[in-house]
Amino acid sequence: MNNFLSLTHIIVEIATVICLAAISVSFILLLFRIVSGPTNADRAVALDSMGMNMMGIAALMAILIPTTKLNDVILLIGILLFIGTLAVAKYLEKGVIIDRNLD
Amino acid sequence: MYKPNDLIFRTTTSLIAFILLGFSIYLLLAGHNSPGGGFIGGLMTSAAIILMYMAYGSDILRKILPVNYRMLIPTGLLIAAGTGIGSFLFQQPFLSHTYNHFHLPVFGDLELATAMLFDFGVYFTVLGVTVTIILSIAEDR
């Protein structure tokens, strides 16, 4: 039983490190899209997916250093990502973010 | 003039603003023995308010939430200073805090500390400062 537990621990750690490497590759590709995106909307979408990858990295780091204190951070990154992407989208569409009168 | 149709944006805002406000209250109350506290709670509440301002425009939001955000700054500072000065009433040094166990009907045995009141002061100050900065930048007159 103890042998089986340690084996599972090793398997989870190896899988976490592999996932971290894969997310890092995704980061580099998204960085390429941010630098050489033809339009601003491409850069906004790339930044949005980069934030999602950041949520994934926070979750994987919470597995590597076994802690539950990072769950709030993951939720926080998601919320700030949503609001930031909305602000960028509204700026690209209308030119103002908080407008005085909508009707 | 070009008029946008913000139906999806407004519907998701009315859902997500509730989740944001609940999460901010959770962060404010959980700050004693887990990540969180007054500062990040105030930032999350101001994020919810800014999200509603983005979705509905500032005229409607000023009718719905008639709060003078500049007055929140001295209110929070007074609360935070009051918890410090209140310790003089018990012949203790400045800003000394204490705690006690209370028995409330719904929550059961609860440990309440006076550091909570200081946290509320930080919360109101951060909320007032953030919303004041963003709204006074956004309004161009």
A95, pLDDT greater than 60: yes
pLDDT band at A83 (very low <50, low <70, confident <90, very high): very high
pLDDT band at B4 (very low <50, low <70, confident <90, very high): low
Share of chain B above pLDDT 70, in %: 96
| Domain layout of chain B by residue ranges | 7-138
Interface-testing mutation among B19, B44, B54, B136, with chain A (most A C-beta atoms within 10 A): B54
Chain B residues whose beta carbon lies within 8 Å of the beta carbon of residue A101: 57, 59
pLDDT band at A103 (very low <50, low <70, confident <90, very high): low
B1, pLDDT greater than 60: no
Given the cut 0.85, state whether the ipTM is greater than it: no
User: What pLDDT is recorded for position B26?
Assistant: 92
Distance CA A72, CA B137 (A): 30
pLDDT band at A1 (very low <50, low <70, confident <90, very high): confident
- Cβ contact A100–B59 (<8 Å): yes
Chain A residues whose beta carbon lies within 8 Å of the beta carbon of residue B16: 82
- Cβ contact B57–A102 (<8 Å): yes
- Cβ contact B9–A79 (<8 Å): no
User: What pLDDT is recorded for position A97?
Assistant: 82
B108, pLDDT greater than 80: no
User: What pLDDT is recorded for position A59?
Assistant: 94
Chain A residues whose beta carbon lies within 8 Å of the beta carbon of residue B134: 98
How confident is the model over A64-77, as pLDDT tens digits? 998 888 888 999 99
Chain A residues with CB-CB distance to B under 8 A?
69, 72-73, 75-76, 79-80, 82-83, 86-87, 90, 93-94, 96-102
| CA-based nearest residue in chain A for residue B141 | A100
Hey, what amino acid is at A46? A
Distance CA B113, CA B92 (A): 16
Distance CA A59, CA A79 (A): 15
- Cβ contact A86–B51 (<8 Å): yes
Query: Which DSSP symbol is given to A14?
Result: H
Nearest CA among A80, A78, A89 for reference residue B6: A89
Q: What is the mean pLDDT of residues B26-45?
A: 89
| CA-based nearest residue in chain A for residue B135 | A98
